[in-house]
Amino acid sequence: MKNSYKRVDAHLSSLGYCTRSEAKLFLKKNLVRIDGVRVLDPTKKAYHTQITVENEPLDAETITILMNKPSGVICSHDDAGELIYALLPLRYQGRNPKISTVGRLDIDTTGAILLTDDGDLNHRLTSPKSTVSKIYEATLATPLRGDEAEIFASGKLMLNGEKKPLLPAKMEMLLPTKVRLEICEGKYHQVKRMFGAVGNKVIALHRVNFDVYSVEELAFGEFMIIAI
C-alpha cells in the first residue's frame, strides 16, 4: 500500500480534490488536518495517511472501480458522445494520473468493466498473457445449431486476421437464442467474432463477470470500489 510523503497541495491535486493553484482556497474553505491539526499552508508536507478532509481520510492513492456499464456509453477519454468517466464523481474525474478503463466494452455492450488509475494493474490485466476470466451473456439473431459449444471448447477456432486459434471457451445455452460464454482472453470484438465464425450474429451482449467481480447487484451506471 502506497503512503506518499509530499506537499499537501500535491496530495489534494493528485486525488482530484482541487488543482494545485486552488489548494490555498480549498484549505480555507475545507477542514483539512494533518494528524488532527488544521493546516492552511498548501506547501506543508505530510504522509498520505496523516491527512483528513472534513474528518474523512483521503481517498486511496490508487483506486480500482467495478462498474455496470450501460449501453450508449463510450470507453474513451477523447471520443465524441457520452463517456464512461462522466458517470464517476467529479473528484474521481480530476485524479492524476487519470482513471482509465481496463480494456473496453463496445458502445452497445453492457456490464462489468474495471476502471483504475493503477497503470501497472491495468497493463497486467490487459496484457496478451493475461488469462483473466470474463463471463458474457449473448443474445443471438438466430437459434443455436448445436455444435457451437464443442467448437468453442476445442481450442481450435481461428478468427479472421488472427495468427493463433482461440483458447478454449465454455458455453452454456440459456435459451435457443441466448447463451452464457466464459472466455479467458480479450481479443477485439471476440464474442461477436466467435459467433460470426459459426454463422450467427450477436444482437445484444452483457458482461456479467470480470474475473471474480460480478455486476449482478449493480444497476446500470452504478459502481463500487474494489480491492484487487
In this prediction, residue 128 has a pLDDT band, given cuts at 50, 70 and 90, of confident
Residue 1 has pLDDT above 90, yes or no: no
Q: Are residues 35 and 88 in the same domain?
A: no
Average pLDDT over residues 123-151: 96
Q: Are residues 121 and 220 in the same domain?
A: yes
pLDDT, tens only, 190-210? 999 999 999 999 999 999 999
Mean pLDDT of the chain: 96
**Domain, as residue range, for 52:** 5-57
Q: Are residues 116 and 12 in the same domain?
A: no
Q: Are residues 123 and 221 in the same domain?
A: yes
Q: Which H, E and C letters describe the chain, residue by residue?
A: CCCCEEEHHHHHHHCCCCCHHHHHHHHHHCCEEECCEECCCCCCEEEHHHEEECCEECCCCCCEEEEEECCCCECCCCCCCCEHHHHCCHHHHCCCCCCEECCCCCCCCEEEEEEECCHHHHHHHHCCCCCCCEEEEEEECCCCCCCHHHHHHCCCCCCCCCCCCCCCCEEEEEECCEEEEEECCCCCCHHHHHHHHCCCCEEEEEEEEECCEECCCCCCCCEEECCC
Q: Are residues 11 and 36 in the same domain?
A: yes
When divided into structural domains, the chain yields a total of 3
What CATH number is attached to the domain comprising 111? 3.30.70.580
Residue 79 pLDDT: 80
What CATH number is attached to the domain comprising 206? 3.30.70.1560
Residue 134 has pLDDT above 90, yes or no: yes
Q: Are residues 82 and 110 in the same domain?
A: yes
Among the listed residues 78, 79, 106, 117, the single catalytic one is: 106
Average pLDDT over residues 23-45: 98
Residue 53 pLDDT: 98
User: Is 106 part of the annotated catalytic residue set?
Assistant: yes
In this prediction, residue 80 has a pLDDT band, given cuts at 50, 70 and 90, of confident
Q: Are residues 161 and 114 in the same domain?
A: no
What CATH number is attached to the domain comprising 27? 3.10.290.10
Q: Are residues 71 and 181 in the same domain?
A: no
